[in-house]
Amino acid sequence: MIRRWCEAMGEENPLYVDAAAAAAQGFAAPVSPPAMLEVWTMARFRDTGRTAEDSMPVLNLFDEAGYTGVVATNIEQEYDRYLVEGDRISYTAVVDEVSPEKRTGLGIGHFVTIRYEFTDQNGDPVGRTLLRVLKFKPNLAQPAAASLSSAAEFSHPRPAITHDNAHYWEGISRRELLIQQCASCGQMRHPPGPGCPKCRSLEWHAVKASGRAKLHSFVVVHQPRIPSLQYPLPVLLVELEEGVRLIANGVGLPEKDIVVDMPLRLDWVEIEPGYVLPAFRAPDGEA
């Protein structure tokens, strides 16, 4: 999770991912980036899952009074020490302050400051966060957002390639659709990820998909429109015969011909020179 966070944030400090760099600074192992403090309290890292307290029920009082909009306005954090593998973090949250009613560009509302106190498995404080949100009555007379410019200014959206999905996109560039299979329990999985959702093993290998599939479900997108794509845009949820599902476009599949459970075959579409994506079509002449 630290590696994924660093990739998403563009954080390149080796202290967070490299054992030798951590050892050089006196740590037994890579440490957590301090700004990940809240991450370790999220449901997937706890035994109890998400609880009612997480949703700050006091904020519902603002909704009931018509202040249904919410926007975070600023956040301050303090860290007492680096968090390391094995720490178990929990928090308490209290509403610290509510401002008088203010008139803002979004509408009238109250600034609400929430204070989070984070503690470790020994009950010792490890950090705190002050989060200020504006709960406001949405101003319905706002002008429409500026419309997107012409298609010529936009190229087709590109995937975000990370350490954990690079193998998948390298396969795509060779016109091979690769599925991850857990080396420990054999579970197939997609989209690509570092660990097995069934047994949590980090060991895996890639299996090349046969390309035989069927349509599990689909939607036809009309809005919002990205200038480089064609609308109406069918988006398919395809079930591969290997047992995993992926989202893909169709090729040669007008909306009227799309039926749930129809057989599909893998094909490839060259979006721009050298940029290929998997897509699915009806099988040729097969039942």
Q: What is the spatial distance between Cα 247 and Cα 279, in angstroms, rounded to a whole number?
A: 9
Q: Which residues pair with 97 in a beta bridge?
A: 113
Site string for Zn ion, 172-191 (x = CB under 5 A): ----------x-xx-x----
With contacts defined by CB under 5 A, name the span among 86-94, 196-204, 220-228, 257-265 that binds Zn ion. Answer: 196-204
C-beta closer to Zn ion: residue 129 or 180: 180
User: What one-character-per-residue DSSP string does the chain give?
Assistant: -HHHHHHHHT---GGGT-HHHHHHTT-SS----GGGGGGGGSGGGSSS---GGGG-THHHHHHHTT--EEEEEEEEEEESS---TT---EEEEEEEEEPPPEEETTEEEEEEEEEEEEE-TTS-EEEEEEEEEEEE---TTPPPPPPP--GGG-PPP-----TTTHHHHHHHHTT--EEEEETTT--EESS--SS-TTT----EEEEE--SEEEEEEEEEE-SSPPTTS-SSEEEEEEEETTS-EEEEEESS--GGG--TT-EEEEEEEEEETTEEEEEEEPPSS--
Give min distance, CB of 184 to Zn ion, in A.
Answer: 5
Give min distance, CB of 224 to Zn ion, in A.
Answer: 38
Residue of 60, 121, 201, 217 interacting with Zn ion (CB under 5 A): 201
Residue of 23, 24, 65, 199 interacting with Zn ion (CB under 5 A): 199
Residue of 37, 131, 196, 213 interacting with Zn ion (CB under 5 A): 196
When asked if residue 65 is in the footprint of Zn ion (CB under 5 A), the reply is: no
Give min distance, CB of 39 to Zn ion, in A.
Answer: 24
When asked if residue 77 is in the footprint of Zn ion (CB under 5 A), the reply is: no
When asked if residue 243 is in the footprint of Zn ion (CB under 5 A), the reply is: no
With contacts defined by CB under 5 A, name the span among 158-166, 168-176, 194-202, 209-217 that binds Zn ion. Answer: 194-202
Give min distance, CB of 188 to Zn ion, in A.
Answer: 10
Site string for Zn ion, 137-176 (x = CB under 5 A): ----------------------------------------
When asked if residue 198 is in the footprint of Zn ion (CB under 5 A), the reply is: yes
C-beta closer to Zn ion: residue 186 or 252: 186
Name the residues that contact Zn ion, by CB under 5 A: 182, 184-185, 187, 196, 198-199, 201
